[in-house]
Structures are given as structure tokens and as C-alpha cells.
Amino acid sequence: MGIWGKILGAGFGFMVGGPLGAIIGGALGHAYDTENEVKSSTNFKCPHCGNTFDPRSASDGHCPVCGKEISFRQVSGTADRQLLFYASLSALAAKMAKADGVVTEDEVRAFDNFVINQLGADQTDRKIIARMFNEAKESKDDAASIARQIKSLIGFQPEVLHAMIQLLFTIAMADSRFHPAEERYIKEVADVFGLSDREYEQIRALFIKTNDRAYQILGVTQEASNDEIKHAYKKLAREYHPDLLISKGVPQEFIKIANEKMKEINNAYAEIEKERGF
């Protein structure tokens, strides 16, 4: 069952204002208008006055009837996290596509292919994601504002923020080219997320080939000692171990991304190990 089926079955588990609230509210509101199977509006009841409402009318996180705050920062449950993940990725991808001033058909197609091939989204979820992409594309909120809200909601899981940057690189490199505007954009988002320069370069090295690429992936320099390299590798292996990530409640989509990164880390370590003969 995709995210839309989970929402219909369990209800919308959280409300959030700000840029993401507008994107989610617009996309889901349109879906509620057009789908044949519509969940009862009791899932969108104000906890203060008891009135029900269309999700689009509460995109700022306040009840449209009594005006009281109904936005909760806590996101819980698989459907909530998955919806937030899709909204965050759609918003950041849409803003990146506009980084050079225009959104091309190739960029939209690349994002859709990414959603199909990398995320395995079904046809219905693809429609929801496409709507969120379009809502974000038309949003007047800038990328930094969106990134700040994402960090405020899932910043307690830095692994997820790192994976989000990795996803942006994947989308940017879909056409096998890395435009300067895309790099400036991804670096800006990474800075808002709080990634250090070393952490950013580690992720960048997964996609951009350089002479010291293997060292960059491990987060060390070519001058590092063998012991320093071994220590860095062991630290990364612990951080990206799937059991640890699952225990932290990291969404399943990010477990797959972490596994892919761990393969690159293993390959980098093997390359250095062979080069140095330890």
C-alpha cells in the first residue's frame, strides 16, 4: 500500500504549517477533490473547536474556523514520516530544478524517473508526489526557508538530512552533468541542514570523481595515517549500519540510501587498503 492508501486508511496523522504545510495541503486537498474513494473529513477535525476542515484551508497550521494553532512538530507513524519525506524531497527537488531560472521537461522527467526507479513509488503515489513537486515549483518560499523547516521537523535524525543531500545529488546527476547552479543550491541546503564542509565533501565525492575521491568518501585526507583511516572507516560503518538506523526509526527509504552509501564506503576503504597494503 502506498502513502495515499495509508492516509485513506489511517487518516492524516499530523498537521504542519509553513512552506511544507502549504505544499502538503495543496497536493492532498487536490487529491481529496479528485479521488473516488474519499476519507471522512473527521480526520481533519480541530482539537479546539471540533469543526472539520479542508486540509488546504489549514495550510498555515491554524484552524480556519477558530484560528487556534493545530500544528504539531512531532511526526509519528510510518505514513506521517513517508508523507513528510515525499513533501521534503519534492520541495527541494522543485527548487533545485528552478535554480538555473527555468524548469525544463528533462528535469521533470528526471525527477519522475528517480521517483519510479529509486523510490519504487506506485502510480498513485507518483501523482501525489508530482502534485507536491508542482506546488513547490509555484511556491514563493525560497529553498532556505523550506530547508529550515525540514531541519526543524527531522533534524533530530541527521542521517536523514545527510540522505536528503545524497538524493539531491542523485537527481542533479540524472543528466550526467553537474551544473554550477545545482552545486550552489545543494551546498546552500547542506549549510542550512548543518552539515560540515567535510560531511558535504564526503557526499559530493560519491558522485563527483576526483583523484582523492576514496579519501574524501571516508572523510580523511591523503596525509592521514593508516590508523586514522581505519578509525574513520569503523566510525562510518557504525553510523550507517542498517540495524542502528532502523532502531532510530529512520524511514525505510533512507535505509536503502544508507546501504548504497555503505557500499561506496566499503569500496573506498578497499581501494585505499590495496593502495597502502595494510
Predicted local confidence at residue 154, as pLDDT: 77
- How far apart are alpha carbons 158 and 59 in whole angstroms? 26
Predicted local confidence at residue 173, as pLDDT: 84
Neighbours of 256 (CB within 10 A): 15
Predicted local confidence at residue 45, as pLDDT: 62
Contact in structure between 182 and 110 (CB atoms under 8 Å): no
Predicted local confidence at residue 54, as pLDDT: 59
pLDDT tens digit at each of 278 positions of the chain: 455 555 544 444 455 677 887 888 777 765 544 443 333 333 456 667 777 765 555 555 567 788 876 544 445 556 667 777 888 889 999 998 888 777 777 778 878 888 887 777 788 788 888 888 988 988 888 999 999 988 888 777 788 889 889 989 988 887 777 889 999 999 999 999 999 999 999 999 999 888 899 999 999 999 999 999 999 999 998 888 878 877 776 667 778 788 888 999 999 999 999 999 88
Predicted local confidence at residue 30, as pLDDT: 57
Predicted local confidence at residue 80, as pLDDT: 66
Predicted local confidence at residue 138, as pLDDT: 86
Predicted local confidence at residue 11, as pLDDT: 46
Q: List the chain domain ranges.
A: 3-154, 209-278
Instruction: Give me the residues paired with residue 185 across strands.
Output: none
**What homologous superfamily does CATH list for 209-278?**
DnaJ domain (1.10.287.110)
Predicted local confidence at residue 13, as pLDDT: 44
Contact in structure between 59 and 21 (CB atoms under 8 Å): yes
- How far apart are alpha carbons 243 and 250 in whole angstroms? 10
Predicted local confidence at residue 98, as pLDDT: 83
Contact in structure between 270 and 248 (CB atoms under 8 Å): no
Q: pTM for the full model?
A: 0.75
